[in-house]
């Protein structure tokens, strides 16, 4: 994926830019790609994923969805999830 995006740095910049543009779904997906790269910034990818999950939760109207997004974000932030889930 990083090769298609122009390298790890470019993919990381795209991840951050999509978060700034409030394209939370895309930022969430890109954070998953960055986390698996050997030279990827895992801490930044985790931070983006948490913010993207919270952004998605804020846009939801169906009660179970925000609950899921927020629970997942809180678990990531607190360190309750293993590195496999992140």
Q: Tens-digit pLDDT profile for the chain (86 aa)?
A: 666 667 889 999 999 999 999 999 999 999 999 998 889 899 999 999 999 999 999 999 998 999 999 999 999 999 887 666 65
Question: For the domain 2-78, what is the CATH code?
Answer: 1.25.40.880
Distance between CA atoms of residues 6 and 24, nearest Å: 21
* Assigned token pair, 78: 């607190």
Question: Rounded to 5 degrees, what are φ and ψ at 40?
Answer: -80, 150
């Amino acid at each position: 994926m990083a090769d298609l995006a122009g390298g790890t740095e470019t993919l990381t910049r795209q991840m951050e830019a999509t978060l700034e543009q409030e394209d939370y779904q895309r930022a969430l997906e890109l954070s998953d790609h960055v986390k698996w790269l050997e030279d990827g910034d895992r801490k930044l990818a985790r931070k983006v994923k948490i913010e993207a999950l919270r952004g998605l939760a804020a846009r939801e109207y169906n009660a179970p969805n925000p609950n899921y997004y927020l629970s997942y974000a809180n678990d990531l932030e607190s360190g309750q999830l293993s590195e496999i889930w992140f």
